[in-house]
Amino acid sequence: MTKADIADPKSLDHARRMLIQAGAREVFMVSSVTGEGVEALRDCINKYFEEVR
């Protein structure tokens, strides 16, 4: 989820729970302004591409 730096924690938690309920295996809270979550998202993407090679 983007814009984690401006959303309130209750809304983020609700959205995260809904995504998991819908089948998401992982949910990343990301902010391009603060950099929050970017490294974890990048690591997950890199791991995925290493596995599919």
The predicted model gives 8-31 an average pLDDT of: 95
Query: What pLDDT score does 23 carry?
Result: 97
- Tell me the per-residue pLDDT of 22-40, one tens digit each, with 9 for 90 and over: 999 999 999 999 999 999 9
- With H, G, I as helix, E, B as strand and everything else as coil, classify residue 38: helix
Interatomic CA distance for residues 32 and 5, integer angstroms: 9
Model pTM score:
0.77
Q: Does residue 11 register a pLDDT over 90?
A: yes
